[in-house]
Amino acid sequence: MFQWKFNSLLAECKNKKINVTYRTLAADTKISTRALVGMSKNEWQRADAVTIHKLLEYFSAKLGRQVEFHELLEWDYTTVPPERKQRKRKSAD
């Protein structure tokens, strides 16, 4: 499973006196505040390429440097994903 790491990017913005809140981040990227909060708590385990691209572009612009993929997401080898429930298939009788 992967872990969202954009909280460290938010902290870097704060250290550089760049004002970024979930509300402004949501407004600028068109990603819902609910989704951003879920990502920050690592409750969201899905991400599409568009969301990742928007966040990389946003933080790159704010920080004045190229933000890399590994700064946003990290694969966590210690976390085992929950087992998927097997669906019962209807028999073709």
Inside any domain, residue 51: yes
> Is this prediction's pTM over 0.85?
no
Domain limits at 33? Answer: 2-69
Q: 27: how many CB neighbours lie within 10 A of its CB?
A: 11
Inside any domain, residue 15: yes
Does residue 79 have a pLDDT over 90? Answer: no
Q: Say how far apart CA 27 and CA 23 lie, in whole Å.
A: 6
Please tell me the least confidently modeled range out of 33-37, 41-45, 59-63, 71-75: 41-45
Query: CATH no. for residue 56?
Result: 1.10.260
Inside any domain, residue 9: yes
Q: Say how far apart CA 5 and CA 2 lie, in whole Å.
A: 9
Tell me the pLDDT tens digit for each residue of 39-62.
888 887 777 899 999 999 999 999
